[in-house]
């Protein structure tokens, strides 16, 4: 008996809406081959356009509509007419928090045929995963502004690190490293940030005791950022707080050749709620509407989704097709130095499938 997976699609804004249809075409192609049944519901107007029209990124019962889905595939949100914190906090962050998607998983690979701007980033050697804490840390709602417009105006923002929140994401990272037969690096800054990050370090050391087979170390985020550029092949699994993980994964994606390739999974590992899959990149207003966005980040995210839904072989088919297309052809979107449109690139990928 095949079970039907209910997939919620949220294309969002700009190139988000241009990369999601290619991801769906690729999904449909592998689903057909593997006998996987996918039923989509698309929320096409959950976007900045809706915000401008109606004052909200999604309807009031938006989260309830998503609750019944098995997974969410999202393009990107953001538009120059709407402040970025409004679009982010009106859609993405509520979904991540309401559905306890506390792991943000961001795999980074240098594919053969992709020229990295970094000399040391040779194909095959770089294959790492950033595990970013996704629901607390520096991205907190606690704080405020006082004395607006006066010379003594001020802003305060509290970072929140909880034992439960850090423990569960660090445990996830250790299990992931164990499963890969790899090692773990913890991103910290406990020399400069004197309360939260020493606490983070203590919890990492505590959890490490439960995973004696996994070699691990900790590195300050500034040095880690530099080393990730100089010797990206040194890393396997990196666990980081919300802000550090956000910055580090964009950096790692650039090291791998283009942010247009990078995928992300927002996971609720306990599966009490749907997990959400999305490219790392944003809505790219500078190229939106031209049909030249690189769809790989969205397509690779769709592969992560299939893996999460229990179809690792179908997921592999997608990443293998990506690797094969890049290694054996020079079909590329402009961000990778080519001249292909999103459409042409997607067609080529489908033929490699």
- Sites of contact with ligand NAI (CB under 6 A): 15, 19, 76-78, 84, 92, 259-260, 278, 281-287, 293-294, 297, 333, 335
Residue closer to ligand NAI (CB basis): 74 or 221: 74
Dihedral pair phi/psi, residue 216, rounded to 5° = -150, 160
Tokens encoding 137: 């840390």
CB of 290 to ligand NAI, least distance (A): 10
Using rule CB under 5 A, residue 246 touches Mg ion: yes
Question: Which option in ligand NAI, Mg ion, none does residue 283 bind, with CB closer than 5 to 8 A by kind?
Answer: ligand NAI
Residue closer to ligand NAI (CB basis): 319 or 340: 340
Question: Which option in Mg ion, ligand NAI, none does residue 78 bind, with CB closer than 5 to 8 A by kind?
Answer: ligand NAI
CB of 163 to ligand NAI, least distance (A): 28
CB of 206 to Mg ion, least distance (A): 29
302 vs 32: CA distance, rounded Å: 15
Residue closer to Mg ion (CB basis): 133 or 246: 246
CB of 16 to ligand NAI, least distance (A): 7
Torsion angle defined by CA atoms of residues 305, 310, 313 and 316, in that order, rounded to the nearest 10 degrees: 20
Residue closer to Mg ion (CB basis): 236 or 246: 246
Question: Which option in Mg ion, ligand NAI, none does residue 246 bind, with CB closer than 5 to 8 A by kind?
Answer: Mg ion
352 vs 271: CA distance, rounded Å: 32
* DSSP sequence for 287-348: TTTSS----HHHHHHHHHHHHHTT-HHHHHHHHHHHHHHHHH-----GGGT----HHHHHHH
Residue closer to Mg ion (CB basis): 11 or 245: 245
66 vs 42: CA distance, rounded Å: 10
* CA 335 vs CA 141, 156, 216, 258, 293: distances in Å: 35, 38, 35, 7, 8
- Angle of the 312-328 helix axis to the 296-308 helix axis, nearest 10: 160
CB of 258 to Mg ion, least distance (A): 14
Candidates 107-115, 140-148, 240-248, 333-341; binding stretch for Mg ion (CB under 5 A)? 240-248
Show the beta-strand stretches assigned E in 147-251.
154-157, 184-188, 216-220, 237-240
> Which of 299, 296, 298 minimizes the C-alpha distance to 338?
296
Contact 312, 297 (CB under 8 A): no
Residue closer to ligand NAI (CB basis): 46 or 200: 46
- Look up residue 44 and give its DSSP letter: T
Question: Which option in Mg ion, ligand NAI, none does residue 281 bind, with CB closer than 5 to 8 A by kind?
Answer: ligand NAI
CB of 223 to ligand NAI, least distance (A): 25
CB of 318 to ligand NAI, least distance (A): 16
Residues that bind Mg ion (CB under 5 A): 246
């Amino acid at each position: 008996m095949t079970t039907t997976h209910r997939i919620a699609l949220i294309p969002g804004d700009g190139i988000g809406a241009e990369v999601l249809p290619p991801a769906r075409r690729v999904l449909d192609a592998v689903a057909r081959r593997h006998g996987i049944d996918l039923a989509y519901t698309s929320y096409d107007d959950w976007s900045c356009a809706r915000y401008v029209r109606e004052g909200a990124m999604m309807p009031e019962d938006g989260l309830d509509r998503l609750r019944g889905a098995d997974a969410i595939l999202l393009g990107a949100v953001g538009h120059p007419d709407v402040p970025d914190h409004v679009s982010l906090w009106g859609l993405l962050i509520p979904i991540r928090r309401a559905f306890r998607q506390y792991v943000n998983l961001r795999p980074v690979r240098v594919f053969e045929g992709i020229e990295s701007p970094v000399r040391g980033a040779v194909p095959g050697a770089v294959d790492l995963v950033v595990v970013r804490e996704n629901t607390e840390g520096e991205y907190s709602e606690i704080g405020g502004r006082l004395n607006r417009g006066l010379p003594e105006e001020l802003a305060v923002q509290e970072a929140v690190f909880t034992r439960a929140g850090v423990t569960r994401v660090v445990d996830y990272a250790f299990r992931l490293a164990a499963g890969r037969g790899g090692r773990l690096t913890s991103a910290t800054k406990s020399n400069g940030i004197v309360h939260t990050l020493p606490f983070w370090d203590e919890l990492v050391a505590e959890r490490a005791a439960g995973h004696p087979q996994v070699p691990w170390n900790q590195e300050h985020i500034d040095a880690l950022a530099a080393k990730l550029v100089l010797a990206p092949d040194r890393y396997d699994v990196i666990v980081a707080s919300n802000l550090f993980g956000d910055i580090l994964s964009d950096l790692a994606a650039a090291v791998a050749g283009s942010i247009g390739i990078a995928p992300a999974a927002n996971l609720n590992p306990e599966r009490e709620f749907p997990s959400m899959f999305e490219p790392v990149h944003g809505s790219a207003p500078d190229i939106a509407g031209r049909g030249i966005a690189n769809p790989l980040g969205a397509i690779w995210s769709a592969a992560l989704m299939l893996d999460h839904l229990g179809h690792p072989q179908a997921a592999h088919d997608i990443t293998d097709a990506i690797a094969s297309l890049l290694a054996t052809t020079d079909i590329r979107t402009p961000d990778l130095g080519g001249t292909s449109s999103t459409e042409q690139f997607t067609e080529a990928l489908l033929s490699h499938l």
